[in-house]
């Protein structure tokens, strides 16, 4: 049984979405986290090394970091087919998009939020303005990052871009805006949001 350590309206909310997509048996353990406004505290019941969410436990096996959890879960529930398997030519792009999310996209947006110039040649990520054309190019080939096939990578990217749709941080891109709407229109997202905060 999968346990999702979850804090309402946080980065763990999208894992309700993924677990619903995967039709996985899971339980939710709500934990407190330190919030950006200074409220909240690390929950001693949370196995994450920094007291963050998301983190899952699969019968005692703990997995943390969003991209790792996404890969772990799609490997564990291959019958739903939203994570290309080893041997599938789409596996390489799938792994790349998962890692790019954590290693480039999130740091790019945080840099922009903090008004910090991304140090060229030092940082492992790039500025948001360089990320956007990469995503727009990928989305010109199909409705999802892997083309026609929806994957767990879209759970990460689509929910993020939906959340920041009206934010000044988000460069105006009809392709990305339409993509985000497409991802959160999925029935599993509605089921997840009904459980978020529950
Ligand atoms: N790199 C982590 C980020 C996790 C993260 O920062 N989660 C936030 C919630 S949105 C959190 O738990 N913050 C509490 C804290 O920083 O102590 C991932 O992608 O899983």
For 131, half-sphere exposure in the C-beta direction (CA atoms, 13 angstrom radius) is 27
Ligand 1 pocket test, pick from 34, 52, 73, 159 with the greatest ligand atom count within 8 Å of Cβ, gives: 52
Q: What is the pTM of this model?
A: 0.97
User: What are the pLDDT digits (tens) for 116-161?
Assistant: 999 999 999 999 999 999 999 999 999 999 999 999 999 999 999 9
For the beta sheet containing 61-64, the strands, ordered from the edge strand earlier in sequence to the opposite edge, are: 26-30, 2-6, 55-58, 61-64
152-163 vs 91-100: helix crossing angle, rounded to 10: 30
How far, CA to CA in Å, does 136 sit from each of 144, 145, 162?
11, 9, 15
**Which residues are near ligand 1 (CB < 6 Å)?**
10-11, 33-34, 50-54, 65-66, 102
Pairing of strands 26-30, 2-6: parallel
- Please determine, for residue 198, whether its predicted confidence score (pLDDT) is greater than 70: no
Ligand 1 pocket test, pick from 53, 62, 101 with the greatest ligand atom count within 8 Å of Cβ, gives: 53
CA distance 66 to 165: 21
pLDDT of residue 115: 96
């Amino acid at each position: 049984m999968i346990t999702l350590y979850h804090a309402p309206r946080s980065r763990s909310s999208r894992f309700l979405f993924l677990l619903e997509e995967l039709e996985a048996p899971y339980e939710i353990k709500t934990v407190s986290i330190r919030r950006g406004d200074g409220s909240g505290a690390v929950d001693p019941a949370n196995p994450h090394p920094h007291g963050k969410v998301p983190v899952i436990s699969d019968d005692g096996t703990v997995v943390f970091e969003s991209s790792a959890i996404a890969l772990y879960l799609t490997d564990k529930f291959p019958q739903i087919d939203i994570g290309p398997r080893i041997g599938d030519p789409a596996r390489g792009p799938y792994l790349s998009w998962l890692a790019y999310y954590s290693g480039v996209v999130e740091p790019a947006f945080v840099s922009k939020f903090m008004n910090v110039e991304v140090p060229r040649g030092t940082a492992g990520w790039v500025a948001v303005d360089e990320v956007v054309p990469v995503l727009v190019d990928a989305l010109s080939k199909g409705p999802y990052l892997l083309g026609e096939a929806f994957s767990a990578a879209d759970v990460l990217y689509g929910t993020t871009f939906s959340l920041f749709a009206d934010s000044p941080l988000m460069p105006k891109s009809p392709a990305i805006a339409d993509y985000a709407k497409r991802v959160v229109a999925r029935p599993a997202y509605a089921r997840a949001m009904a459980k978020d905060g529950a």
